[in-house]
């Protein structure tokens, strides 16, 4: 299937690893040019820069200046924006232990980074007559979890933000959709400082046991692979789904029961 993405300019946030890296690879495979933003440039992202179709930008997206600087790197053309950067820190001590600073850090990266990056990108898209935005949210947007209470709230806000944007800018040729992954086999969940490891420190169970329990909660019995999320993002951003906007797509191995 030709997704007609060859020659398109794509901006991806949080592109150095995990889902963001997989998304960058996915668009690269379709012939797009990618401006990949992340706090630091990983060796894996640096490898993609060598062929000239990926521009890696080291940028702090949690502040007010980083998103504008990233969008400026794209120049006068942006066809697709993928708001992927995010932060998930388990709060096993419960709500009362979550400070204002913790809330603010999560809110800045999970919601405000998308708000600011989108605000900078939209004028570029509008001048060219359209574009596509895909926000990477989470099943926690609809499955509140006190262990990640600030993460869940921020992802719910991100989904709501995307739906509101789709209503305002849809008539002007810009589609906005969200992807809601369940647990994904990335460092965010399975890394040395990932969710499983942090919950292990608090519970006394091993990280392997915690990850296995999470996987068992899915009908498929496994974590989603980053490339599977990336495939969904790439197709949503393509013209093959040109009449899909304001939608929210779950990819969670059946974790969340639906009717």
In this prediction, residue 251 carries a pLDDT of 95
Residue matched to tokens 């997206």: 61
**Three state DSSP letters for 213-247:** HHHHCCCCCCCECHHHHHHHHHHHHCHHHCCCCCC
For residue 184, give the DSSP letter: B
What are the structure tokens assigned to 248, written together?
Answer: 């929210």
Known catalytic residue at 151: yes
Which residues, 6+ apart, have CB-to-CB distance to 214 below 8 Å? 183, 189, 196, 223
Query: Which member of 27, 151, 161, 169 is catalytic?
Result: 151
Strand ranges (DSSP E) for the chain? 9-13, 33-38, 54-58, 80-83, 131-136, 174-181, 248-251
What are the structure tokens assigned to 36, written together?
Answer: 């990949």
What are the structure tokens assigned to 99, written together?
Answer: 């400070």
In this prediction, residue 205 carries a pLDDT of 84
Strand ranges (DSSP E) for 54-95? 54-58, 80-83
Q: Which of 44, 34, 29, 26 is nearest to 226 (CA)?
A: 26
In this prediction, residue 259 carries a pLDDT of 54
Domains recognised in the chain with CATH numbers: 9-182+225-250 (3.40.50.720), 183-223 (no CATH)
pTM given for the model: 0.94
Separation between Cα atoms, residue 36 and residue 4, nearest integer Å: 20
Q: What is the rounded (10 degree) CA torsion for 26, 77, 134, 214? A: 40
Provide φ and ψ at 33, rounded to 5°: -105, 130
Q: Which of 8, 70, 6 is nearest to 39 (CA)?
A: 70
Provide φ and ψ at 199, rounded to 5°: -65, -30
In this prediction, residue 172 carries a pLDDT of 97
Q: Which of 168, 170, 51, 150 is nearest to 107 (CA)?
A: 150
Per-residue model confidence as pLDDT tens for the chain (259 residues): 789 999 999 999 999 999 999 999 999 999 999 999 999 999 999 999 987 799 999 999 999 999 999 999 999 999 999 999 999 998 988 999 999 999 999 999 999 999 999 999 999 999 999 999 999 999 999 988 899 999 999 999 999 999 999 999 999 999 999 999 999 988 777 878 777 777 878 777 888 888 888 888 889 999 999 999 999 999 999 999 999 999 999 999 988 876 5
């Amino acid at each position: 299937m030709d997704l007609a993405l060859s020659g398109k300019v794509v901006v991806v946030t949080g592109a150095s690893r995990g889902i963001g890296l997989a998304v960058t690879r996915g668009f690269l495979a379709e012939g797009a040019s990618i401006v990949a933003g992340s706090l630091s440039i990983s060796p894996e992202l640096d490898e993609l820069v060598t062929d000239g179709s990926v521009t890696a930008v080291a940028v702090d997206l949690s502040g007010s200046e980083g998103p504008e600087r990233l969008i400026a790197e794209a120049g006068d053309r942006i066809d697709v924006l993928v708001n992927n950067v995010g932060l998930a820190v388990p709060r096993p001590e419960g709500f009362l232990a979550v400070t204002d600073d913790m809330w603010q850090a999560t809110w800045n990266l999970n919601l405000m980074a998308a708000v600011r990056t989108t605000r900078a990108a939209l004028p570029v898209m509008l001048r060219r007559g359209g574009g596509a935005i895909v926000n990477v949210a989470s099943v926690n947007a609809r499955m509140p979890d006190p262990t990640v209470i600030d993460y869940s709230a921020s992802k719910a806000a991100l989904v709501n933000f995307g739906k509101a944007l789709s209503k305002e800018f849809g008539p002007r040729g810009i589609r906005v959709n969200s992807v809601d992954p369940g647990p994904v086999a990335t460092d965010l969940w399975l890394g040395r400082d990932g969710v499983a490891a942090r919950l292990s420190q608090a519970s006394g169970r091993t990280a392997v046991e915690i990850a296995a329990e999470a996987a068992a909660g899915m009908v498929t019995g496994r974590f989603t692979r980053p490339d599977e999320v990336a495939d969904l993002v790439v197709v949503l951003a393509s013209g093959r789904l040109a009449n899909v906007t304001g939608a929210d797509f779950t990819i969670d191995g059946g974790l969340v029961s639906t009717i």
